[in-house]
C-alpha cells in the first residue's frame, strides 16, 4: 500500500529538522523529574546533581511552579586528554502547572543528595453543599 502525502514543496521539508532542533535541545538540558500525589499534598522531585542550592531559583505564581538554575563547570584541563564527556552544563528551567486545590501560599522545598523536592499542600476541601440563591422579582 502506498501512503499518499501532501506535497508541500522543497523549502518546508528542508527546514523541518531545524524547526524541532530547539525543542530537542531544551529536552536535553531539562533535568529529570517526577510528580506524585499524597493524601495531603503534591510532590515534585527534580534531579539536580552537581547544582548548588544557591544556584536554584524556585517561584510560585498564578498556579505555576517554576524552577530555574544553572549547572556550571569548574574543571581544569592541565595536560588532561579528554576522550569523551557526557556531563551537562548550562542553564535549565522547568515549569509545572498546579491543580486547582493546591495551596500556593504553603509551598516548601528541600534539597538533599542532588534532588530538589517541592511539596505543595492541598487546600482544605470546599463545601460540597449547594447554596440556594434568592431570585429577586421586579
User: Can you give the residue ranges of every domain in the chain?
Assistant: 32-72+90-124
Q: Which of 5-14, 51-60, 121-130 has the lowest mean pLDDT?
A: 5-14
Q: How far is CA 74 from CA 20, 82, 94, 138, in A?
A: 31, 15, 24, 76
Look at the pTM and tell me if it is higher than 0.75.
Answer: no
Q: How confident is the model at residue 10 (pLDDT cuts 50, 70, 90)?
A: low
Report whether 65 contacts 91 (CB < 8 A).
no
Q: For 87-137, write each residue's pLDDT tens digit.
A: 667 788 999 999 999 999 999 999 999 999 999 999 877 667 777 888 888
Question: Quick one: which H or E segment has residue 11?
Answer: helix 10-29
Q: What is the CATH number of domain 32-72+90-124?
A: 2.60.40.790
**Rounded Cα–Cα distance for residues 1 and 61 (Å):** 52
Report whether 67 contacts 46 (CB < 8 A).
yes
Amino acid at each position: 500500500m502506498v501512503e499518499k502525502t501532501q506535497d508541500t514543496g522543497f523549502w518546508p521539508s528542508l527546514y523541518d529538522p531545524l524547526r524541532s532542533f530547539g525543542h530537542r535541545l531544551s529536552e536535553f538540558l531539562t533535568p529529570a523529574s517526577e510528580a506524585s500525589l499524597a493524601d495531603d499534598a503534591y510532590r515534585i522531585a527534580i534531579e539536580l546533581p552537581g547544582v548548588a542550592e544557591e544556584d536554584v531559583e524556585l517561584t510560585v505564581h498564578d498556579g505555576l511552579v517554576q524552577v530555574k538554575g544553572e549547572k556550571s563547570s569548574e574543571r581544569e584541563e592541565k595536560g588532561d586528554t579528554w576522550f569523551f564527556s557526557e556531563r551537562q552544563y548550562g542553564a535549565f528551567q522547568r515549569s509545572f502547572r498546579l491543580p486547582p486545590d493546591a495551596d500556593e501560599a504553603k509551598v516548601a522545598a528541600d534539597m538533599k543528595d542532588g534532588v530538589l523536592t517541592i511539596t505543595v499542600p492541598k487546600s482544605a476541601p470546599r463545601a460540597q453543599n449547594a447554596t440556594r440563591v434568592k431570585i429577586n422579582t421586579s
